[in-house]
């Protein structure tokens, strides 16, 4: 089995999830079941899918879960942008972190796919 703790993508995704939770504490209370919940779920999905992928036996399954993590990272990137434009965040830090996670995941996915050809 692969060790997710050795992946830079996991390290960045874990930091993103922590940042999302910290920064969304300040979102308006009427967003608790809206954007707050949505961005938190997406942020937790990123490292969770990396961990699940690492636990899978086949390379195909591993890449599938990394693809899902990538999609969730892009989702967080958009939601962070939306939160900034709505005035819930005064920085684009979350958007930048999510974009970095997506870039690292994309590079990992591409490397795995090329190795499998």
- Predicted confidence (pLDDT) at residue 116 exceeds the cutoff of 90: no
> What confidence category does residue 115 fall into, taking pLDDT thresholds of 50, 70 and 90?
confident
Determine if the pTM surpasses 0.85.
yes
In CATH, what number is assigned to the domain containing residue 58?
A: 1.20.1440.60
Q: Span 51-56, mean pLDDT?
A: 98
- Predicted confidence (pLDDT) at residue 98 exceeds the cutoff of 70: yes
Nearest 5°: phi and psi at 7? Answer: -95, 130
Percent of the chain past pLDDT 90, that is, above it, reads 97
Q: Write out the residue range of the structural domain in which residue 22 sits.
A: 4-115
Number of structural domains the chain divides into:
1
> What confidence category does residue 64 fall into, taking pLDDT thresholds of 50, 70 and 90?
very high
Cα–Cα distances in Å, from 87 out to 22, 81, 82, 90, 98? 16, 10, 9, 7, 18
């Amino acid at each position: 089995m692969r060790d997710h703790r050795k992946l830079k993508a996991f390290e960045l995704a874990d930091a993103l999830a922590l940042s999302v939770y910290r920064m969304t504490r300040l979102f308006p209370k009427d967003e608790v079941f809206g954007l707050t919940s949505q961005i938190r779920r997406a942020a937790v999905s990123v490292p969770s899918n990396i961990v699940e992928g690492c636990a899978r036996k086949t390379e195909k399954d591993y890449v599938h879960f990394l693809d899902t993590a990538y999609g969730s990272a892009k989702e967080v990137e958009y939601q962070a942008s939306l939160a900034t434009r709505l005035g819930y965040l005064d920085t684009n830090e979350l958007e930048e972190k999510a974009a970095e996670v997506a870039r690292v995941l994309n590079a990992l996915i591409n490397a795995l796919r090329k190795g499998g050809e």
